[in-house]
A and B are shown apart, each in its own frame.
Chain A
Amino acid sequence: MKDKLSVMMLSWEFPPRVIGGISPHIYFLSKHLAKQDVKVYVVTCDFPGAPAHEVIDGVEVYRIDSYKNPSPDFATWVYLMNMNMQKETAVLTRKIADKIDVFHAHDWLVANAGIGLKHVFRRPLLVTMHSTEMGRRDGLHTTTEKMIHETEAWLTYEAWKVICCSDYMISHVKYAFGLPSDKLVMVPNGVNIHCYDGDGDLKDFRSKFALPEEKIVLFVGRLVYEKGIHVLINAVPKILSKVDAKFIIVGSGYMKEQLLNIVRSMGLEHKVLFEGFMDEATLLKLQKCADVSVVPSLFEPFGIVALEAMAAQSPVVASDTGGLSEIIEHDVTGVKVYPNNPDSLAWGIAKVLLDENYAKSIKDNAYKRVQEKYDWEKIARQTKGIYEGVLGEYSKSFWA
C-alpha cells in the first residue's frame, strides 16, 4: 500500500446537481476525507454550467456525460449512464499515476459502473446503501421494482463492505439481501452545523411566513407517501384546536394536489402554506425560525431532516421509525410519536408548542448531541478506518 490512500467515489449526484440526500453526503464525506490526507476522486453526472473537471476543497471532481441519448425509461437511462460512467472512469483510473486503492459506490444508481471497475482493475469495491427499492416502494410490485431490487442485491454481493447510516438500515439491508452480519458496517450520516451559524434578526424574515402570534410548524421533505406528510395534514385541525400555528410545507412531489384538496376541504388554506422547492439560503433561515420541525415519515432509512433541525436548534417531533428512532431520544433530544397516527403526532406537536421550557431543553440537548455524534470529521475518520481495514484484508488476497 502507498503512503496516501486514494478512493474513487461514484455517485449520480454531486453539487450543484442535487436530487436527494446523496449529493450533500458525498460532498461533506469527500471534503473531510481529503482533510484527513485521503486522495479523493469523485465521478458524477454532468450539470449545466458545472465544469467537467474541478478541484473543490481538495477533492478532484469529474463530471461525465450522463447520457443524453434517448432512453425509453428511467431505469434504462440509469444503466446507459453507467455505461458512460464506467468508460470514463476507466480512462481516468488508467491515466492517474497514483493508483486507485478502492472504489466506493453510492446506491444502485452506479451499481454497474462500480462492479465493472472492480473487476477490470481488481480493486476492492465498497458500497453505501442510502436506501432500498423495497423500502421506497413498501414492497416489490412491478417488474421494474424487482429489477432494481436485484441490481441492489448484486451490488451488495459484489461489495467488500456495505455501509449503512443507521442500525435500522443495517437490519433492513441484511434482511432485504440476505447479507452476512460481518459485511455490514454502520456509519451515521453527518450534518454541517456551521451552515446555521448565520447571525442577525430573523423577525422580518419570519413575518413573511407567519403572524407574530402564530407558531411555525415546519415540514421539509418530498411530498410522497413514505414521508407521511398526509399524517401531518390530518393532524392540523387537532393542533389548531389547542394552539395557533402556521404550517409551512417545503418540498414537492406527486401527492401535492391531493394534499391541497384536503387542506381546501378543511377550509385551512390560510393556515397551511405549500412553498414547493426552496433555495438553500431561505430554507436555512426558515429552519432556524421554526418553533417545531416535524418528521412524520412512515419509512426513513436515516432522517437527515431531523438532524438538520437539531443543528438549526429547532425542536423536533418525529415518528418512531427507522433511523429516526435512533436519532431522537424521547423527551431528551426530541419527541417521538407513533408512525401514521395523526392523534399522536398532534399530541407531540402541541406538547412542544405549549411548553416553552420543555421545548428549550430538548433543542439544547439535541444541539449538543449533533455536535458529539454526527460530526463529519468523525464520520470521515470512521470511513477512512473502513478503507484501511478492507485494504488490509485485500493485501492478503490473490488479487493483490
Chain B
Amino acid sequence: MRAVIFSWEYPPRVVGQLSGYVSALSTQLANSKVDVNVVTYDDSATDQTQEPSGVKTFRVANPVRTHIGVLTWVLTLNQEVERAAANIYYEENKQVDLIDVYDWHFIPAAVTLKSGLGIPFVYSVESLEDHRSPNANSSYSMAIKSIEWLGFFEAARISVKSEWMKDEVIKIYKVPKEKITVISTNPNSWIKEVLKLYNGVAEAKE
C-alpha cells in the first residue's frame, strides 16, 4: 500500500492541531507497513526527507510570493503539490494507491491527479468553511465552499472524526451518508479503521 498524504501543515510547521494529527497518523501508518509520502508546504525547507519511521516528506514552497489573500495563495500552491505528487507517481512506477487530502487547501491538486492519473482520493475533514468563517455567505467564503463541494463530489470516500461532523457534511453538502466514514479517536482502533478505509478505496480503484 502506497499512500500520499496532502496537508498544508506538518511539523515543524504548526498552524493548528492538524499538524500533530497528520504527523502521528503518518508514523502509525508507516509502522503498519504503509509506504507513506507526505506532501506539505514550507516556505524554504523544500528538500525531500525521510523520518526514522520511514515516512517520506516532500515540502513545496509557493511559486508566487505576493498574494491578495489566502485563497489565491492556496490556488498557486496547488500546482507545486501536483508536481510533487506526480514525481512520486512516476518515480514509483505509477504505483500510488490513493491520496488522503486534509481539508480544502489541496483539493484542486487531488482532483486533477484523480482526473489525469486515475489516483482516487479520500477527503479527510478537519473543519468546514461554514464553521470557520463569521461570514460564510461572502463571495470569498462561497469560493472556498465551492472547493469543499468539489472535494466531496470527487472524493472516493470522506473521513470525519465525529458523528456530528458527519451530520454537518450531509446537511451542508448533501453528501450520501454511505460515502462518509467516521474514524474513531480511540487509540486502539484508530489506525485499524484508517487502514480499512484505505484498503477499501485501493480495492475499488479502477
* B residues at A contact (CB < 8 Å): 63-69, 71-72, 75-76, 78-79, 82-83, 86-87, 90, 108-109, 111-113, 115-118, 138-140, 142-143, 146-147, 150
Contact = CB atoms under 8 A, between A and B. Distances in A.
Contacts of A72: 69, 71, 138-140, 143
A116 B112 contact: yes
A228 B79 CA distance: 38
B138 to A, nearest CB: 7
Interface of A: 69-73, 75-76, 79-80, 82-83, 86-88, 90-91, 93-94, 112, 115-117, 119-122, 143-144, 146-147, 150-151, 154, 157
A122 to B, nearest CB: 6
30 contacts: A71-B139, A72-B69, A72-B139, A76-B75, A79-B72, A80-B75, A80-B146, A83-B75, A87-B112, A87-B115, A88-B115, A90-B112, A91-B115, A91-B116, A93-B116, A112-B78, A112-B79, A116-B78, A116-B79, A117-B116, A119-B87, A120-B112, A120-B113, A143-B66, A143-B67, A144-B68, A147-B64, A147-B67, A150-B65, A151-B64
A69 B64 contact: no
Nearest to A67: B146
B68 A147 contact: yes
A76 B71 contact: yes
Contact of B66 (A82, A88, A122, A146): A146
B58 to A, nearest CB: 13
Given A86-B112, A93-B116, A112 B75 contact: yes
A73 B138 CA distance: 12
Contact of B68 (A75, A80, A154): A75
B143 A80 contact: yes
B64 A154 contact: yes
A112 B78 CA distance: 9
A79 B76 contact: yes
A146 B68 CA distance: 9
Given A120-B112, A120-B113, A122-B90, A151 B76 contact: yes
Nearest to B67: A147
Contacts, number: 101
Contacts of B76: 79, 112, 151, 154
Contact of B82 (A88, A93, A119): A119
Contact of A121 (B66, B72, B116, B139): B116
Nearest to A68: B146
A70 B86 CA distance: 30
A150 to B, nearest CB: 4
Contacts of B90: 122
A82 B112 CA distance: 11
A143 B75 contact: no
A158 to B, nearest CB: 8
B17 to A, nearest CB: 27
A146 B64 CA distance: 9
B77 to A, nearest CB: 10
Contacts of A73: 68
Contacts of B71: 72, 76, 79
A147 B83 contact: no
Given A69-B143, A150-B64, A76 B112 contact: no
Contacts of B116: 90-91, 93-94, 117, 120-121
A115 B82 CA distance: 9
Contacts of B72: 75-76, 79, 147
Given A82-B75, A91-B115, A94-B116, A120 B82 contact: yes
A50 to B, nearest CB: 23
Nearest to A152: B64
